[in-house]
Structure 1
Amino acid sequence: MLGNSYDTQVCSISRTLEMVGERWSLLIIRNAAFAGMTRFGQFRRSLGIATNVLQSRLDGFVEAGLMERRPAREQPAASEYVLTDKGRDLVPALVALTAWGDRWAAPDGPPIIYHHIGCGDTVAPHLTCTTCGPLADPTQVEAYPGPGMPQDRADVIRQRLAAD
Structure 2
Amino acid sequence: MPPRKPMNKEPCPVARGVDLIGDRWSLLIVRDAFDGTRRFGDFQRSLGVARNILTDRLRKLVEGGILEMQGASDGTAYQEYVLTAKGQSLFTVVVALRQWGEQHLFENGERHSLLIDKRSGKPIAFMTPTAQDGTVLAPDATEVLKVK
Gaps of 5+ in 2: none
Q: Which has the larger Rg?
A: 1
Are residue 24 (structure 1) and residue 28 (structure 2) matched? no
In the other structure, the counterpart of 2:41 is 41
Q: Which stretch shows the higher mean deviation, 134-143 or 86-95? A: 134-143
Structure 1 equivalent of residue 129 of structure 2: 127
Q: Output the TM-score relative to the length of structure 1.
A: 0.79
Structure 1 counterpart SS, 2:27: helix
Q: Is the 8 A contact 1:66 1:84 kept in 2?
A: yes
TM-score (normalised: structure 2): 0.87
Deviation at 1:110, TM superposition (A): 5.9
- Contact 2:96 2:127 (C-alpha < 8 Å) held by counterparts: yes
Residue by residue, what CA displacement relative to the aligned partner does 1:40-96 show, whole Å, maximum 9, x if unpaired? 011000100011111111111111111110111235421100001100111111111
Q: Where has structure 1 moved over 6 Å in runs of 4 or more? A: none
Q: CA–CA distance in 1 between the matches of 2:96 and 2:6?
A: 25
After TM superposition, list the pairs within 5 Å mapping 1:13-162 onto structure 2.
13-33=14-34, 35-108=35-108, 109=110, 111-123=112-124, 124-131=126-133, 133-135=134-136, 137-145=138-146, 149=147, 153=148
Provide the aligned length of Structure 1 versus Structure 2. 144
**Could you say what the CA RMSD is over the residues aligned between the two structures, in angstroms?**
2.0
Structure showing greater relative contact order (alpha-carbon pairs closer than 8 Å, 6 or more residues apart):
2
**Which residue identity does 1:41 align to in structure 2?**
G
